[in-house]
Chains A and B, each alone.
Chain A
Amino acid sequence: MSTNTSEYLLEVKDLHTSFFTDSGEVKAVNGVSFTLKPGEIMGIVGESGSGKSVTAYSIMRILADTGRITGGQVLYRGEDLATYDNKKMAGFRGKCCSIIFQDPMTSLNPVFTVGSQIMEAIRLHTNKSKAEVKARAIEMLELVGVNEPAKRINQYPHELSGGMRQRVMIAMALACEPDILIADEPTTALDVTIQAQILELMQDLQKRLGMAIIMVTHDLGVIADMCDKIVVMYGGSICERGTADDIFYDARHEYTKGLLRSIPNVNNSKERLIPISGTPINLLNMPKGCAFCSRCDKAMKICLEQKPQEVSISETHQAACWMNIKKMMEEQAGGANA
C-alpha cells in the first residue's frame, strides 16, 4: 500500500465534517488542511463554533452520532485513517493519538478509581502483566506531578481537585506513549495558577517524551505561550496559519487582526479595545463567499461572492483573505508599469 515513510506524522487534507440535525446540515468543518511533524506543538485557535474542536474529534473519529466526515482525508504516517476498521481505530486511539478534554470534572468516570482508569488504557494497548500495569500507572502519575501516587491510584475522581484531575487525564493520555496528544481546551476550566502548572507540565513532558501536541484553545495567551505553529479558524475554515511571530506581529487576515485588537494591549492596558462588530456566523446558513465578510469592515464585493484561497505570504505564513490577493495583484501591476 502507500508508503509509510511520510515526513509528516499527521496530514489532514481538505477535511469536511457536518452534523445532520433536525434544522438541517451544520457544516462545522469546511475544508481544513494541515500537517503535523513529529514533536511539533501546533495551536488551533478560534471562537466557539469555529470548528476547532470538531476538527480534533474528526481526527480521532469520536464525533457525536449526528456527525459525519463528509469529505477529505486524515493520514497518519501516510496511512488513511478512513481505511481503518473499528478495531484498528481503537488501537490508534490511545496508542498513537490521545486526547485530553476541557472539563476534567466530567471526563473521568466517577464510579471507578483513577488508578483503574489509567490501568484500563495501559491494559488495552499493551500485554503487560497486572503488576507491571499497576507499576506503570504509578509511574505515570509520578511523571505528571501527582504527589503520593501509590495512594492516589485508589482514590476516586471526586477526591481530587480540578488541577489534579487534569493531571490524571494527562497521565492516562500519555500512558501508552502516543505520538500525538490532542489537548482540547485543557486549561479553560482551571484557575490561572493551576493553568500555569498544567501548561508547564505539558511543555516539560513534550521535551522529555517528544510527542507532537495539537493544542485547541480560544485563549490567545495560551497559544502565544505554547505553540510554534498556529492555525486560526473561523466558521469551519482556516483563515490564517503561521509561526507565533507571523500571527502576532504580522497578521494578514482581517479576522486575526480583529481578534488581536479586541484583547487588551499588554504594554498599554488602558488603550480602548476595538471589538469585531456583529456576532459569529450561523453554521446552518453559511455564506457563499468568505465566512467572515459579514463582520469585516474591509469587505469588498468579491468577498461576498467567492471564497478566498490561501495565499502564501512567506514560507511559513499563509492567509485566506481577498485583501492579500488584491494587494499582490496591485504590486504585480505596479511592478509591470515601472
Chain B
Amino acid sequence: MSSEYLVEVKDLKQHFPIKTGFMKTTYLKAVDGVSFAIKPGETLGLVGESGCGKTTVGRTLLRLYEPTSGQVLFNGEEVTDKNITALRKKMQMVFQDPYSSLDPRMTVEDIIGEPLDVHKLYTSKAERRDKILNLMELVGLNAEHATRYAHEFSGGQRQRIGIARALAVDPKFIVCDEPVSALDVSIQAQVVNMFEDLQEKLGVAYLFIAHDLLIVRHISDRIAVMYLGKIVEIADADELSDHPQHPYTTSLLSAVPIPDPKITRQRKRIILEGDVPSPMNMPTGCAFRSRCRYATEKCAKECPKLEDRGNGHFVACWNK
C-alpha cells in the first residue's frame, strides 16, 4: 500500500497522567487530536509557544512516547511498537540541545557509528569506517576529528555530529526538534543552510519544530501553528505569513521582532493579553478563546474543526 504522503498523522492524541492527589489522576493533554501529512522531500514547519505540544508531536511520531490514541502512517504503513525498530531506519530525529544529546564518553566515530551498529548496515570494519567518514564529510566535519569526544566541539559542530548520526541510516524523514535554537546567529545560518543542502542532495523530508518564526518561514514549504495541543492553522509558508487567518497566528506573527527598523516603525503589534492557560485546565470549546479578541459564545461551547479555506489553507476558527 502506498500513498502520496510519506508521513500521515491522523487524530494523534498524547495525554500524560499527572498525579494530582491521593488516588487522583488528571490528564495533561499535551497533544489533543493533531492531523497532518508530509510529502516526500517536503519541510513542514511546526511553531507555537512553549508548552503547546510541538515537541511532544515530534517525539510521539517516532514512538519515543506511546500515543494515547490516533495513528501515524509511514509510507501508508501504520507505525506500531512491532515495526518501529525497522522504521527508525527511515525516520530519525535531531534534538534541540547539542550538549546533552551526545554521549560524552563516546568518540564522534562511535556516536555516528552507533545507528550503523544497531541496524547492522555494514559487513566489515572498513566499510563502517568509510561510511562514518562519508557522513562526516557530508555535514562538513573534518575526518581528523573522528576520534575526538563531543566536549571538544563547539555548539554548531556538535549539532553537525547529531545530524550526521541521524543521517547514518539514510532516513527519508527527520524530525528536527529546535535544532538551531541553542546556536548563535552566525552559526544558525550555517546549520540552516546545511539542512537545505542535505534535503536537496538526499531528498529527506523534515518536520522542523522551532519557535523562531523567521527561520521557520525561511526553511519550510508549509507551516503548522499549534496552540495548546491542537493545530489552529496550516498553510503554505508564505501564504501563512502574508495572510494569516486565525487570530492566534496573526498575533504570533505580529509579536515577532523584525530585524528591520523601517518595518518595525510602521508596524502595529497586536499584544495578546495574559498567558497560555495550563494544559491541565483548558478552557472549554476553543482553547484560544481566553485570549482571543473575537471570542463569542459559540467558541465556549464547541471547538472549531480545522477547515480548508482554499489552496490548502486550513484554519480552525469560528469567526475568521
Residue ranges of A at the interface with B (Cβ–Cβ < 8 Å): 47-48, 161, 163-164, 191-197, 199-200, 218-225, 244-245, 248-249, 258-264, 266, 269-270, 272-277, 279-280, 295
**Is B189 on the interface with A (CB-CB < 8 A)?**
yes
In B21-64, the 8 Å CB interface with A consists of: 49-50
Q: What A residues does B252 contact at CB under 8 A?
A: 192-193
Do B218 and A275 have beta carbons less than 8 Å apart? Answer: no
- Kindly identify which residue among B156, B215, B257 contacts A195, using a CB–CB cutoff of 8 Å: B257
**Is B131 on the interface with A (CB-CB < 8 A)?**
no
Chain B residue with minimal CB distance to A228?
B261
**Complex: how many Å from CA A280 to CA B155?**
11
Q: What A residues does B254 contact at CB under 8 A?
A: 196
Q: What A residues does B154 contact at CB under 8 A?
A: 279-280
Do B261 and A258 have beta carbons less than 8 Å apart? Answer: no
Please name the 7 residue pairs, one residue from A and one from B, whose CB atoms are nearest each other, closest first: A221-B257, A275-B189, A262-B189, A196-B255, A276-B186, A264-B218, A220-B259
**Complex: how many Å from CA A197 to CA B252?**
12
Do B258 and A225 have beta carbons less than 8 Å apart? Answer: yes
Q: What B residues does A223 contact at CB under 8 A?
A: 259
**Complex: how many Å from CA A161 to CA B213?**
23
Do B185 and A262 have beta carbons less than 8 Å apart? Answer: yes
Given contacts A266-B258, A266-B263, A269-B217, contact A275 B271 (CB under 8 A): no
Do A221 and B259 have beta carbons less than 8 Å apart? Answer: yes
Do A266 and B260 have beta carbons less than 8 Å apart? Answer: yes
**Complex: how many Å from CA A333 to CA B186?**
36
Name the interface size band of chain B.
35 or more
16 A-B Cβ contacts within 8 A?
Answer: A191-B49, A192-B213, A192-B255, A196-B269, A219-B257, A221-B259, A223-B259, A258-B186, A261-B189, A262-B186, A263-B259, A266-B263, A269-B218, A272-B196, A275-B186, A280-B186
Chain A residue with minimal CB distance to B237?
A269
- Kindly identify which residue among B156, B237, B264, B275 contacts A225, using a CB–CB cutoff of 8 Å: B264
Output the least CB separation between A186 and chain B (Å): 13
Output the least CB separation between A80 and chain B (Å): 34
Given contacts A193-B272, A200-B271, A273-B193, contact A280 B261 (CB under 8 A): no
Do A47 and B218 have beta carbons less than 8 Å apart? Answer: no
Do B189 and A263 have beta carbons less than 8 Å apart? Answer: yes
**Is B202 on the interface with A (CB-CB < 8 A)?**
no
Q: What A residues does B215 contact at CB under 8 A?
A: 264
Q: What A residues does B261 contact at CB under 8 A?
A: 224, 244-245, 248-249
**Complex: how many Å from CA A241 to CA B257?**
20
Do B260 and A191 have beta carbons less than 8 Å apart? Answer: no
**Complex: how many Å from CA A244 to CA B259?**
10
Chain B residue with minimal CB distance to A161?
B275
- Kindly identify which residue among B238, B251, B260 contacts A248, using a CB–CB cutoff of 8 Å: B260
Q: Mark B260-279, 1 if CB is under 8 A from A, else 0.
A: 11111000010110011000
Residue ranges of B at the interface with A (Cβ–Cβ < 8 Å): 49-50, 154, 156-157, 184-190, 192-193, 196, 211, 213-215, 217-218, 237-238, 241, 251-252, 254-264, 269, 271-272, 275-276
Chain B residue with minimal CB distance to A219?
B257
Chain B binding surface SS class: helix
**Complex: how many Å from CA A266 to CA B253?**
12
Q: What A residues does B156 contact at CB under 8 A?
A: 279
**Complex: how many Å from CA A221 to CA B196?**
23
Do A269 and B251 have beta carbons less than 8 Å apart? Answer: no
**Complex: how many Å from CA A223 to CA B255?**
14
**Complex: how many Å from CA A279 to CA B152?**
13
**Complex: how many Å from CA A249 to CA B263?**
12
**Complex: how many Å from CA A85 to CA B68?**
63
Do B49 and A220 have beta carbons less than 8 Å apart? Answer: no
Known: A194-B49, A196-B255, A224-B264. 8 other contacts (CB 8 A): A193-B49, A193-B255, A225-B264, A264-B215, A270-B218, A273-B189, A276-B190, A279-B156
Do B241 and A279 have beta carbons less than 8 Å apart? Answer: no
**Complex: how many Å from CA A262 to CA B188?**
8
**Complex: how many Å from CA A199 to CA B189?**
26
Do B193 and A272 have beta carbons less than 8 Å apart? Answer: yes
Do B275 and A221 have beta carbons less than 8 Å apart? Answer: no
Chain A residue with minimal CB distance to B197?
A272
**Complex: how many Å from CA A218 to CA B217?**
20
Most buried by A among B184, B214, B238: B184
Most buried by B among A47, A249, A263, A272: A263
Do A48 and B184 have beta carbons less than 8 Å apart? Answer: yes
Do A266 and B259 have beta carbons less than 8 Å apart? Answer: yes
**Complex: how many Å from CA A274 to CA B218?**
13
**Complex: how many Å from CA A244 to CA B213?**
22
Output the least CB separation between B254 and chain A (Å): 8
**Complex: how many Å from CA A25 to CA B48?**
42
Chain B residue with minimal CB distance to A223?
B259
Output the least CB separation between B44 and chain A (Å): 16
Chain A residue with minimal CB distance to B188?
A262
**Complex: how many Å from CA A199 to CA B255?**
10
